[in-house]
Amino acid sequence: MFQKIIPFTLLALLVSGCSGSEEKEVTKQGEEKALEEKQTVEKTGPDLSTINQLVIPTTLEEWQNVEPGVFALDYTLEHETSSWPQETRELRTEEKKELESVIAAADDTETIFKALRYYFGSKVYNDLLDQQINYAAVMNEPYLPTPTKEFGANENGEAVPTKAFLLLDASSSMLLPVDGKQKMGIAKIAVKRFAKTLGEQNEVSLYVYGHAGTQENKDKELSCTKIDEVYPLQKYNEKEFDATVDEVAAKGWTPLAAAIQTAHEASKDVEGPITVYIVSDGAETCDGDPVKAAEEFAKDNENRKVNIIGFNVDQKGEDQLKAVAEAGNGEYISADNSEELNNSIAEKWVIPSMLDTFYIRLSGPNGFTVSNAKYSIGQVSMKISNAVNIESSRFREMIKVLFSEELITTEQEEELSEKVKQHADQLKAINTQLRDEKNKEVDDEYERIHQNIEAWAQEIEKIRAEQ
């Protein structure tokens, strides 16, 4: 009996020992889990590594790439660029907690200041700085052709008034882009400058073709038979001519032959030198024979020519247009982009009169142009400066809140306020420098254009004196 009791007692002790061991293990695991949870809680808070990596801008490039504050995205552009001080809204609970956690984790003023910028920095700098940096001083620059003595002169070398028939291709292919701009828009600018440079001494006419119907087959007959003289042959009037050009819309097919024939018929009874100038981006598509039409126009009259500016044409189109110009005793000029098109007509020109030269000298940008450009620059600069003021005011209000909540000391408040002031002063200095640079670009562009005009005018006077 005694022997039977002993094993049972041992078994009970063994079981009891195992149970105590298991309880201790469970307790240990619970303590470790609680410790992990505590550590996780302690780690919860601001991402100080992100805040510390924040770049406080000291250069234009750094300022241009600065990120907006995560809590400042709801501020409007009007609020951020106002000339008047704006009330800072009260801190939201989550915003206040974020600031408190930053100060609890790192109470140095450099980190706190970066936190202010990280959370409440203005969101408008990027767009305003891009607008200012990318501002281009674009001014009216008159077309300054290089004239030849041979063209438009009689047997005594004296300038002879000419008549110019401008034929503008308004077919659907002119809707395609070149240099990021529509061909038709570029061609209109070139035609306007062309007509303006001809001046008061010469009569001008403008025909358009391809502007009727559409490029669809059902509209082919309409598009191929409608050629309109939209500006009748007369003395040039800039306002009327430009308004006429602006109304032209590219739509249909390319009746090049019919356009030349129309100009031919209209000029049969016109005396004096006549030149047809064609601005086109492609070959005939209306089954006509433009080579024959040009030959008929120039036949038996050396003072009649067909000059063609091929604008961004393919090889097939260029081959035909060259043949048309050759048949018309004229010149073919290739222009692959907007700059070449604007300069292409300088290959052949009438020597401008003294009155023309005088008007071109006056046609460059004037003081109002410069003033308007600098005003635009100044307006953007003022918005940037206002944004700096509003942002700085917001930072100062946040510092007051932190001090009133006793989250920072008096010394920290003073240091932070000084950092805000120095930061604002530095940004304003960069803004002023950028404004001055842009104003200088305006002055330089104005000076460049007028120097070119004066050099051109002197060359014209020299050529005229040699006649």
pLDDT tens column, 376-429? 999 999 999 999 999 999 999 999 989 998 999 999 999 999 999 999 999 999
Q: Tokens standing for 359? A: 């008007």
Query: What average pLDDT does the chain have?
Result: 82
Please give the C-alpha separations between residue 413 and each of 117, 132, 199, 410, in angstroms, as whole numbers: 16, 34, 71, 5
Handedness of CA 321, 325, 327, 328 (dihedral sign): positive
Give the residue, 302 or 145, on which the prediction is more confident: 302
Provide the pLDDT confidence category of residue 218 given band limits of 50, 70 and 90: very high
Alpha helices in 267-347 (DSSP H): 290-298, 315-327, 338-344
Question: For residue range 54-93, what is the model confidence (pLDDT) as tens digits?
Answer: 999 999 999 999 999 989 888 889 999 998 877 777 778 8
Q: Tokens standing for 12? A: 């009970």
Residue 311, Cβ neighbours under 10 Å: how many?
27
Assign residue 287 a region: left if phi > 0, alpha if psi is -120 to 50, beta otherwise?
left
Cα separation, 438 vs 137, whole angstroms: 8
pLDDT at residue 220 above 80?
Answer: yes
Handedness of CA 113, 114, 117, 118 (dihedral sign): negative
Secondary structure in 3-state letters for 415-434: HHHHHHHHHHHHHHHHHHHH
User: What is the model's pTM?
Assistant: 0.53
pLDDT at residue 194 above 70?
Answer: yes
For residue 306, the Cα-to-chain-centroid distance in whole angstroms is 37
The position carrying tokens 């009891």 is: 16
Amino acid at 132: Q
In degrees and rounded to multiples of 5, residue 332 shows phi and psi of -105, 130
Helix (H) or strand (E) holding 209: strand 203-209
pLDDT of residue 198: 67
Are the beta carbons of 354 and 324 closer than 8 angstroms?
no
Provide the pLDDT confidence category of residue 94 given band limits of 50, 70 and 90: confident
Helix (H) or strand (E) holding 94: helix 93-105
Provide the pLDDT confidence category of residue 354 given band limits of 50, 70 and 90: confident
Provide the pLDDT confidence category of residue 26 given band limits of 50, 70 and 90: very low
DSSP string for residues in 138-207 = -----------SSTTB-TTS-B---EEEEEEE-BGGGGSEETTEEHHHHHHHHHHHHHHHH-TTSEEEEE
Please give the C-alpha separations between residue 97 and each of 91, 103, 370, 402, in angstroms, as whole numbers: 10, 10, 52, 11
pLDDT at residue 27 above 50?
Answer: no
- pLDDT > 70: percent of the chain: 81
Q: Tokens standing for 11? A: 């078994």
Contacts of 83 (CB under 8 A, 6+ apart): 382, 386
- Largest Cα–Cα distance in the chain? 155
Cα separation, 256 vs 278, whole angstroms: 9
The pairing of beta strand 304-311 with beta strand 274-280: parallel
Cα separation, 73 vs 119, whole angstroms: 10
